[in-house]
Amino acid sequence: MKIESTDAIDEVAFGAADGLLPAIVQHADTGAVLMLAWMNRDALRATLTGRRVVFFSRSRAQLWEKGATSGNTLDLAAVHADCDRDALLVLARPRGPVCHLGTKTCFGDEPSPFLAKLENVIADRVGADPAGSYTARLLAGGPHRSAQKVGEEAVEVAIAATAGNDAEVVAESADLLFHLIVLLRSRGLSLTQVIAELEARHQQR
């Protein structure tokens, strides 16, 4: 059930003992699961009214707007109740890291669901038959071969950016990103490590 206004709050089955129910927060664009917290009637009402996610803190026994102090707020996209109406799925767009530890989610960092899936697919090609897989052939050639392809694709991106259309820039950028992930895998590295480096640089500014 989609909860579109405060009029629907009475249809939600809050806990009989404490008036709470779990709220799972999911990124509205990527689908990544960001965090789990708790809401009562007032928290849900404040969320729907202000369009920023508000929870109920069990430790402090009060409402708290996510990111009110840090600025890492959650902009509300939608709220859904599950089939029993005793749990909420909150779709939101985060403004900065969600976790107090500085990660994008409370379950650790992930580049994006699809990029993580792509990394897993590439990892599965390690040791595969090069005759039947382009990725396996690249990985069999070691970092040198992957580095060569990254260089070639980077040139293609530059050419598309200066002389091509937007579709060509996107297509060549996709080729470059794919080959970069292959290169990282050939060195035993991941995109998560690259993102962590970028975030560390940003925090030093």
Separation between Cα atoms, residue 74 and residue 27, nearest integer Å: 9
What are the residue boundaries of the structural domains of the chain, listed by start?
Answer: 6-94, 113-204
Separation between Cα atoms, residue 90 and residue 28, nearest integer Å: 9
With beta carbons less than 8 A apart as the criterion, state whether 133 and 125 touch. yes
Q: Which fold has domain 113-204?
A: Helix Hairpins (1.10.287)
With beta carbons less than 8 A apart as the criterion, state whether 158 and 98 touch. no
Q: What is the pLDDT along the chain (205 residues), one digit of tens a residue?
A: 999 999 999 999 999 999 999 999 998 877 889 999 999 999 999 999 999 999 999 999 999 999 998 899 999 999 999 999 999 999 999 988 899 888 889 988 766 668 878 888 999 999 899 999 999 999 999 999 999 999 999 999 999 999 999 999 999 999 999 999 999 999 999 887 887 788 778 777 6
The CA distances from residue 163 to 30, 48, 153, in Å, are 31, 47, 15
Q: Which fold has domain 6-94?
A: Ubiquitin-like (UB roll) (3.10.20)
